[in-house]
Amino acid sequence: MDAVDRSQLADFLRSRREALQPEDVGLPRGPRRRTGGLRREEIAQLSGMSTDYWSRLEQQRGPQPSDQMLAAIARGLRLNADERAHLFRLAGHPAPETAHAASHVAPGMQRIVDRLGDTPAMVLTDLGETLVQTPLARALLGDHTQRTGLARSNVYRWYMEPATRDVYPRDDQPEHGRVFTAELRSAYSNPATRERATRIVDALLASSAEFAEVWARHDVRLKHPRRKRFAHPEVGELELDCQTLTDADSGQVLLVFTATPGTPSVEKLELLAVIGAQSFA
């Protein structure tokens, strides 16, 4: 790794922090805010680090940030791909490779997610890797963003960790499994994602006879049902509509789940927002 350009790194972080407004990231402005931009404690929280760590970066001191920390900072600051690469270089790291850059949430997607704090929503890559979830999405489906390696992909977890299927009623699980597999085949046939998809396919073919059987069907254009049923251990079964938005440049997909007004699922979502990811078993 090259030396850190601490002066330029500090200036870059400060300028991007001050350019972000609270409403850009889903935070209330509040009556006592005297200056524009985000406070250090706010951007530190968005980036998953301590305020002290962020302050030391802006003060040109502290350790050299790791790749993982820089990725978190890029997400917190809502950087685009070019700005993210610039951040890595200032911190003495090579710019992320294309495969890793594709895992960076598109800024436009992130801005939409920031405004969906009271709604289950999540952004996925073209391989079904969850990049970001709203708190209500984590409460509904579990936290997928902490997964690493092949387990980041929903289709890998589907076959290697069958307990993850329990978010859906048992009767609906075969259909979801076929759709996840068809999505993997689409990624496998795409030159831009073939290398990453091949690693998942090879691992599953070596370990799951069930996957091999479904993979051999060569399904490609299957789609998830627009209206999905979920089985939550605390609030019971929910029926939610799923809307999708695809970013043409990155291929990332935003999923937004809503309940039809006047249905029991509305009340269950409200209860889920209160209990969050707690378990009362």
Is pLDDT above 70 for 99? no
E strand or H helix that includes residue 232 = strand 227-232
Residue 236 three-state SS: strand
Confidence of residue 262 (pLDDT cuts 50, 70, 90): very high
The whole-number average pLDDT for the span 212-232 is 90
Res 9: pLDDT? 93
Asked whether this chain's domains 6-96 and 107-275 adopt the same fold, the reply is: no
Tell me what pLDDT residue 123 has.
Answer: 95
The pLDDT score that the predictor gives to residue 207 is 96
Residue 124, classed as helix, strand or coil, is: strand
User: For 34-88, how does the pLDDT look when each residue is reduced to its tens digit (9 = 90+)?
Assistant: 777 899 999 999 898 999 999 999 999 888 999 889 988 998 898 887 788 899 9
DSSP 30: -
Domain range annotation of the chain: 6-96, 107-275
Domain at 6-96, CATH homologous superfamily: lambda repressor-like DNA-binding domains (1.10.260.40)
Q: What number does CATH give the domain 107-275?
A: 3.30.450.180
pTM score > 0.85 for this model?
Answer: no
CA separation for the pair 58, 13 (Å, rounded): 7
pLDDT of residue 97: 63
Percentage of the chain beyond pLDDT 90 is 59
In the prediction, which pLDDT does 24 show?
82
| Segment 183-202, tens digit of pLDDT | 999 999 988 889 999 999 99
**CA separation, residue 10 to residues 4, 14, 21, 51, 148 (Å):** 10, 6, 19, 14, 30
Q: Which whole number is the average pLDDT over 19-31?
A: 82
Confidence of residue 280 (pLDDT cuts 50, 70, 90): very low
Write down the pLDDT at residue 222.
Answer: 77
Neighbouring CB atoms inside 10 A of 101's CB total: 17
User: What is the model's pLDDT at position 211?
Assistant: 97
The rounded mean pLDDT for the chain is: 89
C-alpha–C-alpha distance, residues 187 and 67, integer Å: 26
Q: How does DSSP assign 142-191, residue by residue?
A: ---TT--GGGGBHHHHHHH-GGGGGGS-GGGHHHHHHHHHHHHHHHHHST
pLDDT in the model for residue 81: 78
With 70 as the cut, is the pLDDT of residue 277 above it? no
Q: What is the full DSSP assignment across 186-231?
A: HHHHSTTTHHHHHHHHHHHHHH-HHHHHHHTT---S----SEEEEE
Mean pLDDT of 200-221: 94
Q: Residue 242 pairs with which residues in a beta bridge? A: 257
The pLDDT, as a whole number, for residue 281 is 40
